[in-house]
Structures are given as C-alpha cells and as structure tokens.
Chains A and B, each alone.
Chain A
Amino acid sequence: MRINKLGLAVIAVAATVALSLTGCAASDGGNDNIVSVNGSEPQNPLISTNTNEVGGGLILDSIYAGLVYYDEAGTPVNDMAESITSADNITWDIKIKSGWKFTNGEDVTADSYVNAWQYGAKLSNAQLNSYYFDAIEGFSYDTDTELTGLSVVSPTEFTVKLSSAQSDFPLRLGYSGFYPLPQAFFDDPTGFGEHPIGNGPYKLESDSAWKHNVDITLVKNPEYNGGRKALNGGLNIVFYATLDAAYADLLSDNLDVMAGIPDAALTTFEGDLGDRAVMQGAAVFQSFTIPQRLAHFGANEEGNLRRQAIAMSIDRVQIIDKIFNGTKQPASDFTSPVIAGWSDTLAGADVLTYNPTKAKELWAAADAISPWSGSFQIAYNADGGHQGWVDAVTNSIKNTLGIDSTGAAYATFAEFRTAITDQSIATAFRTGWQADYPALANFLTPLYQSGAGANDGQYSNDQVDALFTQGNSAATLDEANKFYQSAQEILLKELPAIPMWYGVTNGGYGTKVSGVKFGWNSVPLLHSIIKQ
C-alpha cells in the first residue's frame, strides 16, 4: 500500500514534468542565404512614427524606403525621392518616383507620406517621434492640429512649408520617422504594428515572422527598386538580451553579423576575430552634464571656472586606454568626427585636454570666489554598463583636484531619466547623444538651445541661440556649419556639458559572410552583405 502511494506521487510528479517538456520540437530553418544579425526586441509596436530606439529602428530601416537613405559616409542619397528642392529653406518641394508599391500592392504616393506625417504629429495619437515634425508649419505640442504646411500637389509631388528656415531639412528625411505608411495602417493601427507593411528592400517573411523576444525574419522584397537592393536572400534579426550572448554566438559562428562588442570582450575581440573585427568612427557623443542650478556651478564666473577645472582634470586618453581598451576617441568638440563640420581646432578646445596644473589653478581661482565644500558626484543608470568609466572619471577628478568625488548609481533608466527631467537630481549626471540624422545641428540644437527637448541641464544663452538660428537659415550646409562652430566656441567656455569622448562603432562578422560595412550610425549596411 505504501509503495502504491509513493508510486502515485511519483506519477504525479512525472506527469507535470512531461507536461512541461512537451512542445520541444526540433526545427532549424536552414535557409542558406539568410544573414543573421543581432538586434533587440522592439520596445514599441513597429510603427515608424512611434519607434525611437535601435531595436525597432533596425527592422523599420530594412522594411521601409523613405525619401532618402544614408550611405556609408552618412551622405543622403535619394531613395524614393526624385528631387527635394527649396529656394528659401522654408518651402520645400518634394517629387517622388512613381510606380513604387507597398508589399500589399498599394501604390506609394504623396498621400502615403503626408498622411503618415499628419498621423505622427497629431498629439492625440501620442507618437514618440512627434517632435520630429515640429519644424513643419501647423505643428503644436499642446493641442491636436493639422500640419497646415503639408500639401499634396499630385500623386508624385507634395510641398512642405516649415515655420522657420531649416537648411538641413533634407538631411533629416532619411530618419525612420519620415517613412510613408499605407492605407492599411490607418484602417487598423494596432494590427499593423504587429505585421507592418513596407516598401523597402525587405519584407516580413510571413504573418508570424515576428517571434516576440526571439527573432524576426525578413525576406528580400523583389519589387524594391531603390539603391539598397538586397544582395542576400533575407535577414534573420535575432533578439539578444545581452551583447555577451550575441558575442558568444558570433564566436561559435551561429551569428553572421554583430553590431557592438560587450565590455567583457573589448580586450580580446580583435584577437578573437582577426580581420573580421570592425572598428570605425560613430555618430555618438558622450558627456556628463553639471546643471547650472547646482550650488557652486551657476551661470557665472565661479561656475565656469569649476566646470573648466573639472573638464581639465580628467585624463580622457588614459581612461579610454584602460577602461575602453581604446574603443573611444577623446572629444574635441560637441559633435562627432563622422559628421561634416566636426572640428578639433575650435578656439578653447584645450579645455578638453588633461592638464592637472591648470585644473588646480582654475579650481583655486573658483575657491577664491566661494570656497568649495561637499562631494562631486556623477549620476548614472546602473543598468547601462556605465559604472567603469564613471568610477575612473571620478577617481581622476579626485586625484587631480583633491576633492571627494564618486559615482551615484540609479537602479533603472526610468528612475534616472525621471530625476533629470523633473530636475530633482542634485548631482552631475551622464549624458549622451546618438545622432538621428548626420548633421552638425542635430548634436547641438536639441541639446543646448534654450528650452530644447533634450536640454537636460536647462542651459540658456542668447548668443548661442542666435547663432543656432543663423545656422538653421544659412543658404548652404557649409555656411551653416560655420555658425554652429562659433556657437560651440561659446559652449566650450561655459561647458553646458563636459565632452568626454566619441563613441566608436565596433562589431564583427562571422566566417560565412562578406561585404560587411557599417554605416555612419553604427548599424551594418545589411542589404550589401553576401552570404556564401
């Protein structure tokens, strides 16, 4: 009897075990010509006006063709656009190629663009990329309005009237927020976010192509006729929780192409991969911001002296060498070397060079105005792998200036950003910017213009604002960049952010692929990869 009862219990356990084991069907999609690449689960539905992070961006860029795309150097090349012209940098006339279709058979017309942009800008649609349309006439952050600046001339032509002159407007048009959307989207926005329909070099393999938290499979769109025609049969974008996991797959040749290298492999990846390791400049600028509302760091003589002293007390070269294994570039301005108009010869850029003697002098001069007390802290979000460099930077400040300096970790990104946005943060904090489109202005106006969206330090300077306005309305990009450089020379004196370094694109690829190139935005140019 006893044994029977024991037997019963064993069967009960065995049954649960068996239940949990079912569904382990072995299947291996052995599609030869499909290139696998690392990505991450999109954080939002796959809608172009609502995707603002890399995970979803990588997919959208593959399945959509916008007016322009960016080539390897970041130069915009017409994709669907026939021409984009303006006489005054205010009213832009956009002609598009005819005969293009969405993969559901709908024609891509001027309406596809205008309707998508109207949708994206409308407040009640709550699209994360709505700010992208704020230059267009009629845009409002506060109420539902029509973009009155958009008007359709013909199925292949529409005009855009901006509220002020913007010389770099055509440069922005390759960003995913400006993609067209088919009528199918407006019929069912929720379902569309799960099964997006595009007009780009790839399309979703099937209705179940997006396996959440696992991967998404795209196949070549034979009807795409632009400059990004796929040289492979398709893409398998695999979602990884960590770069470390992706790297392990790359080393064992389970993954063809990888963007990014985990911290733990920075010292070894060039040895591991040989000539399959990739390292090149990136449109990423990293800094930390000391808000002017902090005691001793006001918008005055003392604040400027202290910010300059801190900027000079950091040995960027050594930190890059020891903490990042050389995978960063010391900053010499507020932009990025892969963007036209970048400079390492701006007046006052020497404030970004390690100079302990000068730093001590400046700090002493500030102490003469008002003596320093307390600890200098740099806040960071602990879920982003920033601890290493923040500790190194604060150690460098501590050793040079002889003041107490430490990092201050916030558990989550949400908590960190909330403290910054509601201005409750009482320390310096890490800041960074990855360009949305390859223009100098994109590194400057959203961050340092008075009242701008990402002006986390609430910096405001009339002179800088005036130079930005002049830059925006300049006739050519070269002329515009001169104004932006002058603005930066003021920024170098007042240091609304302390520039640290420029990001470097690193990555690698497996033995089965060739033709791997990375674009200006650190994303591999997936269409040109060939798989044997």
Chain B
Amino acid sequence: MENKAKHFVAPFNEADFAVVDAVRVDAEPSNLWRDAWRDMRKRPMFYISGVLIVLVALIALFPTLFTNVPPNDNCLLENSSAGATDGHPLGFTRQGCDVYSRIIYGTATSLSVGLIVTLMTTLVGVFIGAIAGFYGKWVDALLSRIGDIFFSIPYILAAVVIMSVFSKYRNIWVISAAIGIFAWPSTARVLRAEILRVKNLDFVMASTAIGVSRFRILMRHVLPNSIAPVIVVTTISLAAAIVAEATLSFLGVGLPSEVMSWGNDISQAQSQLRNAPQLLIWPSLALSITVLSFIMMGEVIRDALDPKARASR
C-alpha cells in the first residue's frame, strides 16, 4: 500500500499498522448468531425470563411435583365457585373442581398449543415470507397470492371443519393445526415487507458486488437483519394462540371439557364473570406470566441480533 499523503503527514512506522491490517486466518469469522448468544448471556432479563420459562416447562412436564390434587376427580358440585379452603389455595370452579390443580395440569395443554402453533406459523411464515420478499417477481406473486387464499379462510370455519372432521381426536395437535394452518400468512407478510426494505440496504448491495451467492446473502445478511418484527409478532402470537384456544372453547369447537387447559377454564369462567371473577383471573394470570416470560426472552433475542442496539448500550 503506497502512502500518498506524504506532503503533509510526517512519515510513520508502517509496522504499527501491520498489526491492525493483519488478517488472522486462524481466527473464527465474526458470526452474528454467536455474537448474539454471547451478548444475551450478559443480560439479567435473559436469566429472569429463562428461569420463568424453565419453571413453566417443569410444571407442564411434571404437574405432580406441584400439586397432589387430581384435577378432574372429586369435582363436587357443593363446592361450586367456592373460595379458597385448606388444600385448595385458589378455590373451586363452577363444577366444583380444584382451580389450582386445573391450572397446573392445564399448563401442558396450553403451552403445547401455544408452542406448536407458534413454531408452525413461524417456520412456514419465515420460509415463505423470506423467499417471496427476497426473490420478488413471479415467486413473490405466487407465494403472496397463496398466502392471500389461506389468509382469507375465516379461522372459525377452519376450526369448525377441522374439529368436526377429527371429532374423535380432539387433541392438542388437531386444535393447534386448526389455529395455525391459516395463520402463517401474517408472519410471512410481516417478514416479506421487512425483507423488501432490507434487501436494498448498502451492505446487501456490497455483498452482491463482491459476488456472494444470493442464497448466502439471504441467510447471512438479509434474514438476520429482518427478523426483529417476526420476533415481536411471534412472541405475541404465542399468547394469541393460547387465547385463541379459549375463544374456540367459547364458540364450542375447542378441546373437550375433560381436557385441562387454561383456555377451557377461561371460557367456562366467562358466564360467572359477575359473581365469581376469580375463576377468570387465575387462569388469565397464569397465561400472562407465561407470555411475559416469552416476550422478555424475545426482547433479549431481538436486541442481541441488532448489532447497533448492542453497540449503543
């Protein structure tokens, strides 16, 4: 490298620059995902939300660790909507079942529905949205219009059809499919829009200019920089899916009533809203805490993926 600034800068020792300019071929290349992971571990919010998520997962996997009251036996009508008593800290449902135990046992169902739906819509939505936004032209037209068709199916129709056709198998998989199968276009559209913006940014142009392959640009540069809104939508969708399960129960096409789920409890509590509001509050609270932990986790991930936000701290 020839120094052309001789006329106003004193000569200097090139050796000092050599250190800076040297390319360490043995060093690992800088990696967005790894940087993000390193950054996340420095944040308290990561640990708070992580502990909460682990706790919820533990409840879902091993409900017997948290209660020894079976949720559906000994539902005595004389306890209908009664308040807390010894051994039943949150009182009883309208059918006289233990509220606390139903919430503990309902965790697995609600969490599964939320996670399955979110996973399904995110995977499909990100795949379709990324391809449509990045490749544009007829690929975009085709995928976007398919998305429009799916989006236009009212989810109640989908739920009625799916839950009726599989009426013998009303389980978490079927209800998750009913909620999720027509929900992915939202994720796809949000991501597509962000990719439309990001793919025109300078660093993408630069990558193209130095001959990086299109697919590699999408995966390494465009997608990570477009993912933030997807994370926001995804974390809220988790809650929306759990609530959608409640709405389907409310409309009569949810899970059978002997299946414990927060949604079932919330929808059954609705008719008692004025005389026993606590029946609604407890499962809603469980739902809120779960969602809060996932939203906080989403926030940490989002920040970690955004190098500029990282730098500004």
Whether A and B touch (Cβ < 8 Å) is answered with yes
With both beta carbons as reference points, the residue of chain B lying nearest to A408 in the complex is identified as B256
Contact of B268 among A387, A395, A399 (CB under 8 A): A387
- Whether B94 contacts A410 by the Cβ 8 Å rule is no
Chain A binding surface SS class? helix
Given A322-B94, A409-B252, A412-B164, are A264 and B74 neighbors across the interface (CB < 8 Å)? Answer: no
- Whether A264 contacts B270 by the Cβ 8 Å rule is yes
Check if B139 is an interface residue, CB within 8 A of chain A: no
B: interface residue count bin = 20 to 34
Contact of B77 among A322, A406, A412 (CB under 8 A): A322
- Whether B270 contacts A382 by the Cβ 8 Å rule is no
Q: Per-position contact with A for B176-196: 1 when CB-CB < 8 Å, else 0?
A: 000000000000000000000
Query: By CB atoms of chain A within 10 A, which of B78, B251, B271 has the most?
Result: B271
- Whether B77 contacts A264 by the Cβ 8 Å rule is no
With both beta carbons as reference points, the residue of chain A lying nearest to B76 in the complex is identified as A399
Given A322-B94, A391-B95, A411-B160, are A382 and B77 neighbors across the interface (CB < 8 Å)? Answer: no
Check if B80 is an interface residue, CB within 8 A of chain A: yes
Contact of B273 among A264, A323, A408 (CB under 8 A): A264
A370-418 contacts to B, CB under 8 A, are: 381-383, 387-388, 391-392, 395-396, 399, 406-412, 415
* B43 CB to nearest chain A CB (Å): 38
- Whether B167 contacts A411 by the Cβ 8 Å rule is yes
- Whether A395 contacts B274 by the Cβ 8 Å rule is no
With both beta carbons as reference points, the residue of chain B lying nearest to A318 in the complex is identified as B77
- Whether B253 contacts A411 by the Cβ 8 Å rule is yes
Q: Per-position contact with A for B259-279: 1 when CB-CB < 8 Å, else 0?
A: 000000000101111110000
- Whether A264 contacts B253 by the Cβ 8 Å rule is no
Contacts of A415 in B (CB 8 A): 164, 167
- Whether B274 contacts A264 by the Cβ 8 Å rule is yes
The CA-CA distance from A381 to B160 in the complex, in Å, is 12
- Whether A406 contacts B258 by the Cβ 8 Å rule is yes
B269-309 contacts to A, CB under 8 A, are: 270-275
- Whether B160 contacts A396 by the Cβ 8 Å rule is no
Q: Per-position contact with A for B197-227: 1 when CB-CB < 8 Å, else 0?
A: 0000000000000000000000000000000
* A243 CB to nearest chain B CB (Å): 11
Contacts of B164 in A (CB 8 A): 410-412, 415
- Whether A382 contacts B253 by the Cβ 8 Å rule is yes
Given A318-B78, A388-B94, are A411 and B163 neighbors across the interface (CB < 8 Å)? Answer: yes
- Whether B252 contacts A263 by the Cβ 8 Å rule is no
Check if A33 is an interface residue, CB within 8 A of chain B: no
The CA-CA distance from A381 to B78 in the complex, in Å, is 26
Given A406-B258, A408-B256, A412-B164, are A315 and B271 neighbors across the interface (CB < 8 Å)? Answer: no
- Whether B253 contacts A392 by the Cβ 8 Å rule is no
- Whether A396 contacts B275 by the Cβ 8 Å rule is no
The CA-CA distance from A412 to B164 in the complex, in Å, is 8
Check if A267 is an interface residue, CB within 8 A of chain B: yes
- Whether A268 contacts B271 by the Cβ 8 Å rule is no
Given A387-B268, A395-B77, are A411 and B252 neighbors across the interface (CB < 8 Å)? Answer: yes
B120-171 contacts to A, CB under 8 A, are: 160, 163-164, 167
Contacts of B96 in A (CB 8 A): 322, 395
- Whether A388 contacts B77 by the Cβ 8 Å rule is no
A308-361 contacts to B, CB under 8 A, are: 315, 318-319, 322-323
- Whether A265 contacts B252 by the Cβ 8 Å rule is no
A-B CB contact pairs (8 Å), 25 listed: A264-B274, A267-B275, A268-B274, A268-B275, A318-B77, A322-B78, A382-B251, A383-B252, A387-B257, A387-B268, A388-B94, A388-B271, A391-B95, A392-B77, A392-B95, A395-B75, A395-B77, A399-B76, A406-B256, A409-B257, A410-B164, A410-B167, A411-B160, A411-B164, A415-B167
Chain B interface (Cβ within 8 Å of chain A)? 74-78, 80-81, 94-96, 160, 163-164, 167, 251-253, 256-258, 268, 270-275
Inter-chain pairs besides A323-B80, A323-B94, A411-B253, 14 sampled, C-beta below 8 Å: A263-B271, A264-B274, A265-B274, A392-B77, A392-B95, A395-B77, A395-B96, A399-B75, A406-B258, A407-B257, A407-B258, A409-B256, A409-B257, A411-B167
